[in-house]
Structure 1
Amino acid sequence: MNRLLLLFLCVCLAGCSSTSTTTAPTTMQENEQEQIKPRDLHVVALGDSLTEGVGDGKGGYVTLVKQYLEKREDVSEVFVQNFGKRGLRSEQLTDIITKNEPVIQKADLILITIGGNDVMKVVRSHFLSLTYELFVKEQQAFASRLDEQLQLLRYINPDAYIVLVGLYNPFSAAFPNISEMDGIIHMWNEGSKKVFSRYDYTLFVPIVDLFEGRDDILYDDQFHPNTRGYELIAQRIYEYLQQHEWIGE
């Protein structure tokens, strides 16, 4: 009887040992699969010629950001709606937003470039009588509109990450008589950054440093970025997105 009992206990222990060693790896694999669930991303791009990609025949920074996102293990497919329009000023952006409300409602990420044409409007309207105060006044109006547009975007879509790409300075070469242009662009960017800081899930991406002393990354018109310029903008946007929980490390 003792031998039979001993044999029975050995069989039971062997069975328990086998169960514990085979189930643990399976559970770990299941946990890893649950952690990485590729998902579709919907991106909406709004704004001026930079969003349209003028100066690059490949779609500009928007296409490049899409490619960065598609390489991620946690992203299945990226769908992009690009509403960039050459010459667009901030006072016209609200109309673009309201006309495309159904698409914006589905967005996970909203990319915006706006403001460059507002600066140009000041230059063209007051070319013979330009003062720093004129730019300050227009920037304040721009910031007010930007704040209203952020409120509208948040009303349409409370959860999307909204990215505003800052201004760079191609104006000095075109208008060498405006000696304060670097300061004007800095003032403009700081105002936009301040507006964005008041909202959750928003990100201001500075790019002015990328273009300092770099005529080689401008298009033939010496105003828009060329292909390399857009590559640098896209890299900067993606680097900033990686620093936030929405996109991860």
Structure 2
Amino acid sequence: MRLFVSVLCCCLLLAACSVTVDESDITQEEYEKSLGTSNVPLPIDDALYIEQVKRESIVDKLSEIFQLDWLSRKEIDAKDIEYIALGDSLTDGVGDEYKRQGFTERLIERLEKWPAIASVTLDNRGKRGRRSEQLLALLEKGHYDKELATANLVTITMGGNDVMKVVKTDIFSLKKEMFDEEKVNFKNNYEQIIKRIRAKNTEAPLILIGFYNPFSIVVDEITPFEEIIVEWNNEIIQLAEEDGNACFVPVMDLFHTNEDLVYHTDFFHPNSRGYERMTERIVSAMTACGIEEMTDGLIGFEE
């Protein structure tokens, strides 16, 4: 909407400038006087030069009024922002055959189209197999203190490996109670992760990305894992709501089947198409959360 209004105002201003620029900028008579001649047609090159000056004058007027570099459509005071991505293999981009770090680089492409953002610097700290207690331990040791303090945006993917930790304990004797017990630990760890981040940065939006059931493409019918994943994601939703400056991104439905070929050949991680869909969902969720208002216009997405 912001971009639409700017373009509409631009069209109206251009219509007005078509009259005022001719009166205030270089005219044929003024140009001839500057050459010391009269009644002499402008050379083609000189005429083109004057037209260029007029166009540049319009651009200057637009830039002054809208505070935009109209040629690049960037705000004059557009900022370089810092984005730190924390989490597991989904943040690391495992399975992305194009080696674009999963959703993170794709998200940057969308962010850099926003007029208030000059560029985005990515610090991707995702690691395959990472669990919540491991990320918490790193934060407690101050591994990311400096990066978090200056970050304008933080994303987190966490939970899949915590579930797999239970699965690997005894895959043939699994009971839901085992997942319920671990869920308590997971929530406590995630809560402390957020507190550690907020101790270093109170303003940066936290984008908490949910996780999916990787066994859904192996078994066609509904399994107890569906309920387990939903419950664990609900814990993340609650934490996002409690923070007040966080946004939850649901992705479970994106990987319920492989009909759209969203899985990597390991049938566990997304492929490039899967990460594209994740990116679109992240953008949609951030927009729905009011990311533009949340950041006073610094972060947003073109409509």
TM category, shorter: 0.7 to 0.9
Distance in 2 between the 1:170 and 1:139 partners? Answer: 18
The corresponding residue for 1:240 is 285
The corresponding residue for 2:78 is 38
Larger helix share, 1 or 2: 1
TM-score, normalised on structure 2?
A: 0.70
Consecutive aligned runs of 4 or more in structure 1 exceeding 6 Å deviation: 25-28, 175-178
The corresponding residue for 1:152 is 196
CA deviation map 1:136-190 (0-9, x unaligned): 1111110111111111100011111111110111123457899211111111101
The corresponding residue for 2:272 is 227
The RMSD of aligned alpha carbons is 2.4
Residue 102 of structure 2 corresponds to residue 60 of structure 1: yes
Distance in 2 between the 1:153 and 1:163 partners? Answer: 12
Which amino acid is 2:205 matched to? Y
The corresponding residue for 1:181 is 225
Residue 132 of structure 2 corresponds to residue 90 of structure 1: yes
The corresponding residue for 2:171 is 127
Count of aligned pairs between the two proteins: 228
1:67 partner SS: helix
The Cα of 1:29 is off from its aligned counterpart by 5.2
The corresponding residue for 1:217 is 262
Q: How does 1:91-130 map to 2 (within 5 A)?
A: 91-97=133-139, 98-130=142-174
Q: 1:43 to 1:94 in 2, by over 3 A?
A: same
Distance in 1 between the 2:122 and 2:172 partners? Answer: 42
CA deviation map 1:165-224 (0-9, x unaligned): 101111234578992111111111011111221012111100111112225100000000
Distance in 2 between the 1:179 and 1:232 partners? Answer: 24
Which amino acid is 1:70 matched to? E
CA deviation map 1:107-152 (0-9, x unaligned): 0000111110000010010212111111111111101111111111
1:41 partner SS: strand
Indicate conservation of the 8 Å contact 2:216/2:256, yes or no: no
2:269 partner SS: coil
Distance in 2 between the 1:242 and 1:30 partners? Answer: 29
Indicate conservation of the 8 Å contact 2:216/2:257, yes or no: no
CA deviation map 1:10-35 (0-9, x unaligned): xxxxxxxx9xx98xx98885341079
Which residues of structure 2 form unaligned runs of 5+?
1-19, 25-57, 69-73
Which amino acid is 1:207 matched to? V
Distance in 2 between the 1:29 and 1:167 partners? Answer: 44
Q: 2:114 aligns with which of 59, 72, 91?
A: 72
TM-score, normalised on structure 1?
A: 0.84
Indicate conservation of the 8 Å contact 2:85/2:91, yes or no: yes
Which residues of structure 1 form unaligned runs of 5+?
1-17
